[in-house]
């Protein structure tokens, strides 16, 4: 808790603000439990001392990779560090062994290719920049060395990037687990191709996110004594079923409905499908198409993925 003795005239501080969340400034007056702060934005604020936190003036302008190195690990300090890194396109930051991801709202394929996985393979945790691959590699190494099962928790609010982060973790573990075979298809390939299938039937556009998972997911990847993938299981729960029959503008229903309406002509004729705007469960919202997403292409890709994970053509229809 803040106390009077912590601040004197000229102290650099953070003050809570209803519009900006936090503003930085200098203490101009100290009157018992009240402070007068001259903010860098030009505003002068009178506030209770309990709503004020000290500011580290020696913190690097670009922030720090691990926030346990911050002089003050409080809310404004954490948020400022994340903001500083985000402006430099650094979307990942550690707090000890916790990885914080800030959604860039754009594709960054150069961060997740095979070259990048090779860089993080076997590297000491913290030796390289913060990344989901570092978390996955550390878990894999602990499992191999200690022979103890590991768990990675992916948590956050809607639109934070949980779906993409989970995909990156699975991608790396599949990369490390090799290509153990199952029915002519590699388990590695089946694990990765399970994502588009789950997303087609369980993800939708919300106000904050174009590809939001409307269900929970528990992914279990099993490895043999040599560290190779031997099997996997994915359990889903709490699917938002009310979305099927009722959606709000400008959201979308589950991706699979729009994919079906964009299927090849022979499939549309076979299943008596038409334009998505002609169906009540879809036209409750004015948002039918998404920028950068080709539903007809996604339909073909999803059918292919269903075949890879073991769903036969008869079962698909």
The domains located in the chain, with CATH, are 4-54 (2.30.30.520)
List helix spans (H) across the chain: 75-86, 114-120, 132-146, 162-176, 187-202, 242-245, 255-261, 265-270, 280-283, 295-308, 313-316
Q: Is 20 annotated as a binding residue?
A: no
Q: Is the pLDDT of residue 18 over 80?
A: yes
Q: How many helices (H) and strands (E) does the chain have?
A: 11, 13
For the entire predicted model, the pTM comes to 0.88
Determine what percent of the chain is predicted with pLDDT higher than 90. 86
Q: Is 240 annotated as a binding residue?
A: no
Q: Is 292 annotated as a binding residue?
A: no
Q: Is 165 annotated as a binding residue?
A: no
Instruction: Please give the biggest Cα pair distance in the chain.
Output: 79
Q: Is the pLDDT of residue 287 over 80?
A: yes
Q: Is 161 annotated as a binding residue?
A: yes
Q: Is the pLDDT of residue 103 over 50?
A: yes
Q: Is 156 annotated as a binding residue?
A: yes
At 221 the pLDDT is: 95
Q: What is the mean pLDDT of the chain?
A: 93
At 208 the pLDDT is: 86
**Burial annotation 30-62 (CB, 10 A radius, 16+ → b, else e):** eeeeebbbebeeeeebebebebbbbbeeebeee
At 107 the pLDDT is: 86
Q: Is 151 annotated as a binding residue?
A: no
Q: In this structure, what token pair is assigned to residue 272?
A: 């008596």
Q: Is 160 annotated as a binding residue?
A: yes
Going by C-alpha positions, the residue among 315, 311, 298, 307 that lies closest to residue 196 is 298
Q: How confident is the model at residue 5 (pLDDT cuts 50, 70, 90)?
A: low
Chain centroid to CA 191: 19
Q: How confident is the model at residue 33 (pLDDT cuts 50, 70, 90)?
A: confident
């Amino acid at each position: 808790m803040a106390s009077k003795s912590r601040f004197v005239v000229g102290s650099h501080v953070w003050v809570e603000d209803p519009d900006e969340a936090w503003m930085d400034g200098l203490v101009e007056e100290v009157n018992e439990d009240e402070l007068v702060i001259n903010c860098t934005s030009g505003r002068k604020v009178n506030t209770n001392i309990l709503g004020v936190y000290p500011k580290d003036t020696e913190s690097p302008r670009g922030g720090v990779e691990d926030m346990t190195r911050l002089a003050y690990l409080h809310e404004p300090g954490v948020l400022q560090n994340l903001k500083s890194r985000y402006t430099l396109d650094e979307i990942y930051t550690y707090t000890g062994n916790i990885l914080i991801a800030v959604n860039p709202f754009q594709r960054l394929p150069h961060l997740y290719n095979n070259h990048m996985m090779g860089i993080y393979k076997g590297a000491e945790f913290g030796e390289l920049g913060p990344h989901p691959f570092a978390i996955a590699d550390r878990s894999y190494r602990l499992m191999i060395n200690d022979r103890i099962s590991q768990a990675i928790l992916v948590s956050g609010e809607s639109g934070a990037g949980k779906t993409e982060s989970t995909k990156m973790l699975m991608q790396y573990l599949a990369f490390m687990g090799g290509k153990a075979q199952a029915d002519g298809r590699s388990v590695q390939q089946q694990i990765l191709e399970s994502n588009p299938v789950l997303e087609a039937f369980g993800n939708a556009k919300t106000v904050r996110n174009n590809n939001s998972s409307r269900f929970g997911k528990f992914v279990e990847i099993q490895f043999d004594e040599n560290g190779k993938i031997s099997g996997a299981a994915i359990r889903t729960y709490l699917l938002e079923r009310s979305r099927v029959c009722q959606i709000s503008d400008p959201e979308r229903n589950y991706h699979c409905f729009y994919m079906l309406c964009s299927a090849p002509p022979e499939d549309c004729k076979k299943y008596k499908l038409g334009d998505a705007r002609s169906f009540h469960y879809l036209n409750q919202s004015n948002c039918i198409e998404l920028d950068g997403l080709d539903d007809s292409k996604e339909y073909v890709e999803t059918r292919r993925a269903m075949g890879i994970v073991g769903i036969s053509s008869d079962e698909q229809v």
